[in-house]
Amino acid sequence: MGGFLAAVTQREFWSGKKIRQFVSEPQVQKFVLDGNTKIKQAIYNKTPGEVASIPSSDIRAILIFTAEKQQTWLISDPNIVYCVIDQRHWEKPQLKWTEKRENLIPVRADEVLHADEAFSERVGVLHLGDQSKGRLYYSKDLFLNEPPEAAIERFLSLTNA
């Protein structure tokens, strides 16, 4: 049985997919900073010349979910929040969605009802704003000092002025 479990655990390596390390906070900030011009153009209906460059000091990030193979980050510039999913078998992180910061408050956290009790004990679900962006999991152990609603609302309301 041990051999079978080891084989299941190692299947990514046998399939030839490269498993990489998660990106760090500075790397995920750079990922958003490098790719945000088209996003800002779409959100604000501005031409490329009208879209101002955002200094890296104005980009903040908060890790909200972490598991063995995936992490989820919220990244914020002065106007927009980006949800970035980082899965270790992907070549690079992927942008899941973007939204204006003011549209993501209030924040509500709920319990996850899952057949796997251990999963339900470790993970909750976030609803951001009145028009939730869908189920956004959070890791409870990342929010031991402050409820997730309070931490994320504080993150969304901070300015870098």
- Domain ranges across the chain: 2-157
Q: How confident is the model at residue 13 (pLDDT cuts 50, 70, 90)?
A: very low
More reliable by pLDDT, 133 or 33: 33
Q: How confident is the model at residue 141 (pLDDT cuts 50, 70, 90)?
A: very high
Tokens describing residue 79: 């106007």
Residue range 76-100, pLDDT digits in tens: 988 889 999 999 888 889 989 888 8
Residue range 52-67, pLDDT digits in tens: 566 667 789 999 999 9
Q: pTM for this one?
A: 0.75
At residue 105, the pLDDT reads: 85
